[in-house]
Amino acid sequence: MSATAPKRAPMPDDIRARKGGVPLVSLTAYTTPMAELMDGVCDFVLVGDSVGMVLHGLPSTLGVTMEMMILHGQAVARGLHSSMMVVDMPFGSYEQSRELAFANAARIMAETGAGAVKLEGGVEMADTIAFLVVRGIPVMAHIGLTPQSINTLGGYKVQGRGDAGEQLLADAQAVSDAGAFAVVLEKVPQNLADDITARIAIPTIGIGASAGCDGQILVVDDMLGLFTAFKAKFVKRYAHLGDDARAAVSAYADEVRARKFPAVEHVFGDAAPEAKS
């Protein structure tokens, strides 16, 4: 292999094998240019159903469709060569039956080239996860705060406090036993996240959980300061690109109104006359 050959993208078994090792790195992506920035830096890139809120202005993830996930999955795939892509299964695409879940997961993987799909739910989804895995669909699970269930959870609340922690432990064990290769823990108390991480055989990916998880994920527009509708406690802003973009748009508008843009270097003169022989 050439020394300049691109690094092979990890596969689900590679992610599973990182349990207890160097923490896994992940971010969401919805577009080709953003995926290109993450390629080879993130171990896996998630095409999250958060795209509905971040790019489409929806109030929650519930309005996201299969077509939206496939469209954005295809865009992200064009920007990835050295990172694995995982695509969220949207609300309503897998809960009705394991057969429906398989049909939709197979469609996502076939039409996007994803390395795996992600679905929400613990004990109640274990049978579906096992059904998919045995049929060749790698599954990343997601427990704790599951955004597709906010109407039954009562909002974006921390999950697993007090006696509820036992249920989350059971959920984590169930998805691990069912064959998921990793599990996202969202908005879970730190001690509980550490306990789950120590007990189950697959990597835990934290978002608002614990630095002791086997990896971390954030919504990229949150960490870059592009999505400013609200800021969750667990988000660290590594840049403030939204502020920079607003300032740039305002500067552009001011220059257009003052006829300072376009300047001479941005316009074209008459064509040079042809040389005479």
List alpha helices for the chain, DSSP H. Answer: 12-16, 32-38, 51-54, 66-77, 98-112, 126-134, 150-153, 164-178, 190-199, 220-223, 241-257
Taken as a whole, the chain contains a residue count of 277
Q: Using DSSP, how many helices (H) and how many strands (E) does the chain show?
A: 11, 8
Q: What residues are annotated to the active site? A: 186
Contacts of 69 (CB under 8 A, 6+ apart): 47, 49, 51, 87, 88, 89, 90, 108
Beta bridge partners of 186: 144, 207
d(CA 275, CA 277): 7
Q: Are strands 44-47 and 204-207 parallel, antiparallel or unpaired?
A: unpaired
